[in-house]
Structure 1
Amino acid sequence: MAAIAAAAAAFSTLNLSRTSVFLPRCHLRRAITSSLSSATTELGAKFAAPKPKPKAHKPAPREDSEQFIPWTVNDESGDVTLKTTSSERFLRAVVNESTQRKKKKEDRGSGGKDKPGVPTAEPKYSKAARRFYNERFREPPQRLAKVLAAAGVASRRSSEELIFQGKVTVNGSVCNTPQTRVDPAKDIIYVNGGRLAKKLPPKVYFALNKPKGYICSAGEKETKSALSLFDDFMKTWTKRNPGTPKPRLFTVGRLDVNTTGLIIVTNDGEFANQISHPSSNLSKEYIATISGAVSKRQLIAISEGTVVEGVHCIPDLVELLPRQPDIPRARLRIVVHEGRNHEVRELVKNAGLQMHSLKRVRIGAFRLPTDLGLGKHQELNAASLRALGWKT
Structure 2
Amino acid sequence: MERLQKIIAQAGIASRRKAEELILEGKVKVDGEIITELGYKAKKNAQIEVNDKIIEKEDKVYFVLNKPKNVLSTVSDHKDRKTVVDLIDTKERIFPVGRLDYDTTGLIILTNDGEFSNEIIHPRYSIEKVYDVTIKGILKATEIQQLEKGIYLDNKKTLPAKVVIVNIDKNKKITNLQLTIKEGRNHQVKNMMKYFGHTVVKLNRRRLGTIDLKGLNIGEYRRLKPFEIKQLKRLANSNELIK
Question: Shorter-chain TM-score: what band?
Answer: 0.7 to 0.9
Partner of 1:321, secondary structure, is strand
Relative distance call for 1:319 and 1:272 in structure 2 (3 A) is: same
Which residue number in structure 2 is paired with residue 183 of structure 1?
Answer: 43
Which residue number in structure 2 is paired with residue 228 of structure 1?
Answer: 86
Which residue number in structure 2 is paired with residue 68 of structure 1?
Answer: none
Q: Would the aligned equivalents of 1:209 and 1:262 in 2 still touch at CA under 8 Å?
A: yes
How big is each residue's C-alpha offset from its partner over 1:67-98, in whole Å with a ceiling of 9 and x where there is no partner? Answer: xxxxxxxxxxxxxxxxxxxxxxxxxxxxxxxx
Q: Would the aligned equivalents of 1:305 and 1:347 in 2 still touch at CA under 8 Å?
A: no
Which residue number in structure 1 is paired with residue 219 of structure 2?
Answer: 375
Which residue number in structure 1 is paired with residue 164 of structure 2?
Answer: 319
- Given the alignment, which residue of 2, 10, 14 partners 1:156? 14
Partner of 1:322, secondary structure, is strand
> How far is 1:145 from its partner?
7.0
Task: State the alpha-carbon separation in 2 of the partners of residues 191 and 337 from structure 1.
Answer: 33
Partner of 2:90, secondary structure, is helix
Which residue number in structure 1 is paired with residue 211 of structure 2?
Answer: 366
Q: Would the aligned equivalents of 1:278 and 1:338 in 2 still touch at CA under 8 Å?
A: yes
Tell me which protein shows more strand as a share of its residues: 2
Which residue number in structure 2 is paired with residue 261 of structure 1?
Answer: 106
Task: State the alpha-carbon separation in 1 of the partners of residues 185 and 37 from structure 2.
Answer: 30
How big is each residue's C-alpha offset from its partner over 1:21-45, in whole Å with a ceiling of 9 and x where there is no partner? Answer: xxxxxxxxxxxxxxxxxxxxxxxxx
Q: Would the aligned equivalents of 2:121 and 2:184 in 1 still touch at CA under 8 Å?
A: no
Which residue number in structure 2 is paired with residue 306 of structure 1?
Answer: 151
Runs of 5+ consecutive residues of structure 1 not aligned to the other structure: 1-138, 235-246
Q: Residue type of the partner of 1:284?
A: K
How big is each residue's C-alpha offset from its partner over 1:202-260, in whole Å with a ceiling of 9 and x where there is no partner? Answer: 22111111222223223432143222222x322xxxxxxxxxxxx33122222222222
Identity of aligned residues (%): 30
Task: State the alpha-carbon separation in 1 of the partners of residues 153 and 222 from structure 2.
Answer: 32
> How far is 1:176 from its partner?
7.7
User: Scaled by the length of structure 1, what TM-score is found?
Assistant: 0.48
Runs of 5+ consecutive residues of structure 2 not aligned to the other structure: 238-243
Relative distance call for 1:193 and 1:319 in structure 2 (3 A) is: closer
Task: State the alpha-carbon separation in 2 of the partners of residues 365 and 144 from structure 1.
Answer: 25
> How far is 1:193 from its partner?
9.5
How big is each residue's C-alpha offset from its partner over 1:342-376, in whole Å with a ceiling of 9 and x where there is no partner? Answer: 2211111112211101111111232222x212222
Tell me which protein shows more helix as a share of its residues: 1
How big is each residue's C-alpha offset from its partner over 1:144-187, in whole Å with a ceiling of 9 and x where there is no partner? Answer: 9718x73xxx73389998xx898x8654x4648696754351x4
| 2:169 is the counterpart of 1:332 | no
- Given the alignment, which residue of 249, 259, 279 partners 2:124? 279
Alignment RMSD: 3.8
Q: Which has the higher contact order (CA 8 A, sep 6+)?
A: 2
Q: Residue type of the partner of 2:75?
A: A
> How far is 1:379 from its partner?
0.8
Q: Residue type of the partner of 2:43?
A: D
User: Scaled by the length of structure 2, what TM-score is found?
Assistant: 0.73
Task: State the alpha-carbon separation in 2 of the partners of residues 380 and 349 from structure 1.
Answer: 34
Which residue number in structure 1 is paired with residue 198 of structure 2?
Answer: 353
How big is each residue's C-alpha offset from its partner over 1:262-302, in whole Å with a ceiling of 9 and x where there is no partner? Answer: 11111222222223333333211111111344444544454
- Given the alignment, which residue of 140, 163, 167 partners 2:2? 140
Which residue number in structure 1 is paired with residue 241 of structure 2?
Answer: none
Task: State the alpha-carbon separation in 1 of the partners of residues 145 and 55 from structure 2.
Answer: 57
Q: Residue type of the partner of 1:308?
A: L
Q: Would the aligned equivalents of 1:315 and 1:335 in 2 still touch at CA under 8 Å?
A: no
Relative distance call for 1:182 and 1:213 in structure 2 (3 A) is: same
